[in-house]
Amino acid sequence: MNAAHMEVLIVEDDLLHRIYLREQVSAALPECDTIFEAENGAQGETLARAHRTAHIVMDLQMNARNGIEAARTIWLERPDTRILFWSNYADEAYVRGVSRIVPNGAAYGYVLKSTSEERLKLALRSIFVENQCVIDNEVRGMQQRSFAQASGFSESEYEILMDIALGMTDRAISKRRHLSLRSVQNRLQQIYSKLEVHQPPETLREDGAFNLRARAVTVAMMRKLLNYGALEKAEAELQSWLKGS
Amino acid sequence: MNAAHMEVLIVEDDLLHRIYLREQVSAALPECDTIFEAENGAQGETLARAHRTAHIVMDLQMNARNGIEAARTIWLERPDTRILFWSNYADEAYVRGVSRIVPNGAAYGYVLKSTSEERLKLALRSIFVENQCVIDNEVRGMQQRSFAQASGFSESEYEILMDIALGMTDRAISKRRHLSLRSVQNRLQQIYSKLEVHQPPETLREDGAFNLRARAVTVAMMRKLLNYGALEKAEAELQSWLKGS
DNA sequence: ACCGCCCTTGCGGGAACCCGCAGATTCGCG
DNA sequence: CGCGAATCTGCGGGTTCCCGCAAGGGCGGT
């Protein structure tokens, strides 16, 4: 680490936030002499590749290409890149997405936009000069709740949840995930029960019948287990799988 | 309209954007002597009621209570309130939501956060002092595409799209919307075709079977026809309908 | 080895879904 | 009023979904 020279790349689509970040970065890191800026994920990848920047702070949830996608390709090319994710929300979909792509040993951070200036500056220094991970408290809580058993989803359940969200049939899922048809259905039932999606249990009305499959998707959406970015990513993967075989 | 006295309420959850709005409002409206601020929809409603503010600028997409919900109750109480919606996106779900609740004759605006300072100031003056509607170009385009026939959804189709998103069965929908079971299914087919959701048409593979119902929901989501806020609202309506009978 | 425990897989059936077909109803227009 | 076009509705059947039941197959423990 060369203390006299540092380049930082900011990837953020909101102008005001970009300006704010620029200020905070140069205030927190006097050794930083160059700041590059991108306003979407695609541009961010290009700049990161062009300048080989080892320090990136970026938003998740951008228009052209979201932060997770961008981070994934950047980390594939240079796994030692240090990335601070700077996000509005701590949705489980985001947290899961990030922790799925971080190379082991890499330093990264995840702080919310609502945190104070001090915490942001601290995070910047911790990650970029101390090479140390910084995860916001709320995000940390989400991580634990997510990977523990408590209403938490195993990786394979999560995959299948995506599959039904994409509109795949049981049989298609069984082919894709190499399971028997019945196993897929078993997993679906686990998913339904973990999401607390069931037919109106003791109800008298026969109106309120639910299509569990469809309901599970929106319940997952409302619980922030799924979000827009995750859907897009899953859709892309599905398409390439359909081509692949 | 008293030119020497004006109160404006800003409803916006993002601190930076709130500060920016504050500046722009006082720059564009010298006659404005008081600015109230709220950081979510619920607080916005309270302040609007307390101060009887006739001029509001607010974000859609906030945590506690989104802009559309807040605007709806505010307009129910005082239909002549002037509201400028200031949003990141021109999703069809938002546009549709707004134009569904605006009282006829009321002045309102819809501008994107990405527009220039000048346009924002202009919109503020147009709505608040000239009492004139201002709709951003991109939003306007969305409106027309939405209400025209071109891949546009009729109101009843839109309702049913929500219903299947919520996981209702065909029969439940038919009860709720007072249609025969078969009619519901007809509408579903229209929806599928408008969303271009169909079984892999010329494909040889039998793997790629789709559950049209589930797929339609996420396609609608990816096309921004549905979004998180719309789902929450629909869910609330569904719950109250279930109670009601 | 024996015994639970958990996960997988198959079978079967009742319900729900997707949809082609055809008669009935509605609505607009000359 | 007549006529066409669009929509609503019922019927039927092929497929998919939801799920209870039960027969295996690993795996750790006493």
Residue ranges of the domains in chain B?
6-147, 155-244
- Looking at the predicted structure, is the pLDDT value of residue B221 above 60? yes
Interval B1-47: pLDDT, tens = 545 689 999 999 999 999 999 999 999 999 999 999 999 999 999 99
For A94, the token pair is 């985001």
Superfamily of chain region A6-147: Response regulator (3.40.50.2300)
Which residue, chain included where needed, has tokens 């800003």? B10
The gap between the terminal CA atoms of chain B, to the nearest Å, is: 46
Asked whether A152 and A158 are in contact (CB, 8 A), the reply is no
Q: Which of B209, B222, B228 sits opposite A235 (nearest CB)?
A: B222
Query: Would you call B232 and A217 a contact, using CB atoms and an 8 Å cutoff?
Result: no
- What are the chain A neighbours of B167 within 8 Å (beta carbons)? 197, 210-219
Interval A148-179: pLDDT, tens = 555 678 888 999 999 999 999 999 999 999 99
Question: How distant, in Å, are the alpha carbons of A82, A110, B4, B191 from that of A138?
Answer: 21, 10, 46, 40
The gap between the terminal CA atoms of chain A, to the nearest Å, is: 46
Interface of A with B (CB under 8 A): 14-17, 20, 113-114, 164-169, 171-172, 175-176, 197, 205, 207-219, 221-222, 227-228, 231-232, 235, 242
Q: What angle do CA A213, A217, A220 make, to 5 degrees?
A: 130
- Protein-contacted bases of chain C (C-beta within 7 A): 8-12, 15-20
Interval B100-150: pLDDT, tens = 899 988 999 999 999 999 999 999 999 999 999 999 998 988 877 766 555
> Side by side, which strands form the sheet with A6-11?
A32-38, A6-11, A55-58, A82-87, A108-112, A134-135
The distance of B37 to chain A (nearest Cα, Å) reads: 17
Task: Give, as one character, the DSSP assignment of residue B150.
Answer: T
Instruction: Give the fold, CATH level 3, of A155-244.
Output: Arc Repressor Mutant, subunit A (1.10.10)
Best of B211, B217, B224, B238 to substitute, by most chain A Cβ atoms within 10 angstroms, is B211
What does the alpha-carbon distance between residue B79 and residue B57 come to, in Å, rounded to a whole number? 15
Q: B162 to chain A: nearest residue by CA?
A: A218
Q: What angle do CA A179, A143, A163 make, to 5 degrees?
A: 30
CA dihedral B82, B88, B93, B95 (to 10 degrees): 40
Interval A34-54: pLDDT, tens = 999 999 999 999 999 999 999
The pLDDT value recorded for residue B199 is 84
What does the alpha-carbon distance between residue B24 and residue B10 come to, in Å, rounded to a whole number? 11
For A40, the token pair is 């979407």
User: Which nucleotide lies nearest residue B206, CA to C1'?
Assistant: D15
What does the alpha-carbon distance between residue A157 and residue A187 come to, in Å, rounded to a whole number? 7
What does the alpha-carbon distance between residue B35 and residue B143 come to, in Å, rounded to a whole number? 31
Interface of B with A (CB under 8 A): 14-17, 20, 113-114, 164-169, 171-172, 175-176, 197, 205, 207-219, 221-222, 227-228, 231-232, 235, 242
What does the alpha-carbon distance between residue B40 and residue B197 come to, in Å, rounded to a whole number? 37
User: Which sign does the torsion angle of CA A231, A232, A237, A242 carry?
Assistant: positive
- What are the chain B neighbours of A211 within 8 Å (beta carbons)? 164, 167-169, 213
For B121, the token pair is 């100031």
A199 Cβ within 7 A of any nucleic strand D atom? yes
**Across A79-88, A115-124, B94-103, least confident range:** B94-103
User: Which nucleotide lies nearest residue A179, CA to C1'?
Assistant: C8
Question: How distant, in Å, are the alpha carbons of B47, B97, B141 from that of B84?
Answer: 16, 14, 18
Packing angle of the helix pair B92-101, B67-77 (nearest 10 deg): 10
Which residue, chain included where needed, has tokens 């039904």? A164
The pLDDT value recorded for residue A115 is 94
For B213, the token pair is 């119902």
pLDDT more than 70, % of chain B: 92
- Protein-contacted bases of chain D (C-beta within 7 A): 7-11, 15-20
Task: Give, as one character, the DSSP assignment of residue A238.
Answer: H
- Looking at the predicted structure, is the pLDDT value of residue B208 above 90? no
Q: What is the mean pLDDT of chain B?
A: 90
What does the alpha-carbon distance between residue A135 and residue A141 come to, in Å, rounded to a whole number? 10
Classify residue B224 by burial, with Cβ atoms within 10 Å: 0-12, 13-18, 19+.
middle
Which runs of consecutive H residues, i.e. helices, occur in A149-199? 155-165, 170-177, 181-194
Which residue, chain included where needed, has tokens 């997770």? A68
